[in-house]
Homo-oligomer: A and B are copies of this chain.
């Protein structure tokens, strides 16, 4: 079997808002699906065991889903998806609103949001699949929902190591070319016209916003 066939499954791009001990936080997920059509509807979301958001959802029993639109920038996705809420305030530079339940929804280029209450969970080797009732949500939606395929092909987005679909990129194993890799999000700088050394000192990673000093030569 060619493992690439798993990439043919279709997904969306979602920000999962959680209530942590240190305040509201959020992560990126591509697996949010409706699994029952009753009133209220039931959705399933898959979150890696190691993710800070996983622990927060277990503790609080609630979370939000903000459905990201095609207008969402790679920087927003990088800030939420490629850093840990344990170490940084991810929402600092992202337009959001904290619901009275203490969970945030993303206002920056999101189509709509839902508030979800956990009703069950299933463990796999690496991820928890949370089942949750949708108890509230937007009164309308705007924009076109971003699919994971769009994120990969148009935004050229990277995949964090905790995603179910992660695999080591080919370029990391090619010994021929010198590369500068962001140690936060694994973005690889490869502009043939400007040497990495010649980038201005205030240049930041276009995906996760990390400073130039966070890049390592490989």
Contact = CB atoms under 8 A, between A and B. Distances in A.
Given A9-B67, A12-B10, A36-B126, A2 B138 contact: yes
A6 B31 contact: no
A180 interface: no
Contacts of A18: none
Interface string A116-152: 0000101011110101001011111100010111000
Contacts of A33: 9, 11, 31, 33, 46
A195 interface: no
A12 B9 contact: yes
A37 B5 contact: no
B6 A34 contact: yes
Contact of A125 (B36, B44, B112, B166): B36
A65 to B, nearest CB: 8
A8 interface: yes
State the number of copies, please.
2
A111 interface: yes
Contacts of A140: 2, 5
Interface string A11-54: 11100000000000000000111111110011110100000000
Contacts of A147: 10, 147, 149
A141 B4 contact: yes
Contacts of A190: none
Interface in A44-94: 44, 46, 67
Contacts of A113: 5
15 contacts: A1-B136, A1-B139, A2-B137, A5-B67, A5-B140, A10-B145, A36-B127, A37-B165, A37-B166, A41-B164, A42-B125, A44-B44, A120-B122, A122-B129, A124-B131
